[in-house]
Amino acid sequence: MSVSLLAQTLKGSEIIKIGGEINELKRQGEKITNLTIGDFDPAIYPIPTGLKHGIIDAYHANQTNYPPADGVTVLRENITDFLRERYQLDYATNQILVAGGSRPLIYATYLALIDPGDKVIYPTPSWNNNHYCHLSGANGIVVETSAENNFMPTADDIRPHLKGATMLALCSPLNPTGTMFAKKDLEEICDLVIAENKSRGESEKPLYILYDQIYSLLTFADKKHYDPVTLRPELKQYAIYIDGISKCFAATGVRVGWAFGPENIIGKMKSILGHVGAWAPKAEQIATAKFLTQTADLNTYLKAFKAKVQHSLDTLYNGIIELKSEGFAVDSIDPMGAIYLTVKVDYTGKTTPNGDLLKTSADVNFYLIKEAKMAMVPFSAFGTDANVNWFRASVGGCSLTDIEGMLPRLKAALEKLK
């Protein structure tokens, strides 16, 4: 074998396979409404102007050498203020770690806490926990969720798996569903973790919560974001938060993320990422630090950005619900946050005009790509069974007009299935 066992056993991404199909059709001159990518088209969703100018200014000021391993001080100071003002969370600068986006921080959390074989509990559908389990050698314990609870895990779902687990990976608002924890559900989960940790002896590793709130500023209408430490302050020593600018400022390519949590764990994550060198570029860190203090600009940006994302999500949601009322086997969950809509297209077992049987949700998706010129991602790409007929539709890469134009094509494609 020419490569390591880890390299050999890496799982390919289903989303990349779908991307290949879309690109092939584009090469043939087709126009596809691409609802697959968890990213933004910068022509539709540019980053905040203040942030862009800050980055350019920082390069003009020659901020081009190594940043400190935990992030430039002014950024960590301003994150401290931001957390206090926006979330009423109290974290000191040595409890914050900055990195090149939030991915390295999730990976570092796994590496800092997980020994090979340790149990990590995560719900499905969810984003990439299966890959981080693989990379860290964790024993991933999958908790299946249901549409009845907006695909968010409940205490009852999690309770049977807690004994001996080292980490519980949670995310809200959730990728891929755009749904969020209800206060009561998260409180009950928090209480489980507190009780479990009380039951553990000195020699046992505690149960930690990885709390990914990268979409927390992207919530709609009266939907409120909740987090474990605000609800249960005694969890502070057990919670590692993941956050950053990628999603809430449409800045996925700028690469500034941060984690916050107990100082000893954050310190170990800093050492791990120091060896990897996964720092955010220094100029971008300085610009982010400045932008976080430009409160009026930041709020104005967020308001307009959220309204635009919500309009697209609502348009898609209303279109699907209308099809449902006309008798089509589709459904959707009211968008709450992030850039995703949860869409049901319940057409497995049906036959296409070409006589092909649609056996799985992936088959349904490929049919819709070809026939309706629209692409989503089946939840199976986020860890659910292939027979779960729910999909993620991301609106970050599409214009409103594009989404409006797609709905009649979806209807026509579904009408052709027998």
Ligand X SMILES: Cc1ncc(COP(=O)(O)O)c(C=O)c1O
Q: Which residues bind ligand X (CB under 6 A)?
A: 38, 101-103, 127, 171, 175, 212, 214, 244, 246, 252, 257
What is the distance between the alpha carbons of residues 186 and 227, in angstroms, rounded to a whole number? Answer: 8
Tell me the closest approach of the beta carbon of residue 162 to ligand X, in angstroms. 23
Among residues 18 and 414, whose Cβ is nearest to ligand X?
A: 18
Tell me the closest approach of the beta carbon of residue 308 to ligand X, in angstroms. 19
Token pair of 114 as six digits: 């997980």
Give the residue from 180, 216, 210 showing the smallest Cα distance to 114: 210
Among residues 228 and 319, whose Cβ is nearest to ligand X?
A: 228
Place of tokens 């020419």: 2
Among residues 103 and 225, whose Cβ is nearest to ligand X?
A: 103
Write phi, then psi, for 73 (nearest 5 degrees).
Answer: -60, -45
Tell me the closest approach of the beta carbon of residue 240 to ligand X, in angstroms. 13
Strand 33-34 with 139-144, pairing: unpaired
How far is CA 141 from its chain centroid?
19
Token pair of 414 as six digits: 């579904």
Which residue lies nearest ligand X, judged by its C-beta? 101
Among residues 101 and 125, whose Cβ is nearest to ligand X?
A: 101
Say what the alpha-carbon torsion angle 360, 362, 365, 366 is, to the nearest 10 degrees.
-110
Tell me the closest approach of the beta carbon of residue 243 to ligand X, in angstroms. 9
Tell me the closest approach of the beta carbon of residue 179 to ligand X, in angstroms. 12
Q: Is the dihedral of CA 301, 303, 307, 313 positive or negative?
A: positive
Among residues 104 and 319, whose Cβ is nearest to ligand X?
A: 104
Among residues 67 and 101, whose Cβ is nearest to ligand X?
A: 101
Token pair of 172 as six digits: 């809200």
Among residues 123 and 257, whose Cβ is nearest to ligand X?
A: 257
Tell me the closest approach of the beta carbon of residue 25 to ligand X, in angstroms. 24
* Sequence letter at residue 246: S
- Number of other CB atoms surrounding residue 259 within 10 Å: 29
Token pair of 28 as six digits: 């043939």
Tell me the closest approach of the beta carbon of residue 365 to ligand X, in angstroms. 19
* Cis peptide upstream of residue 408 (ω within 30 degrees of 0): no
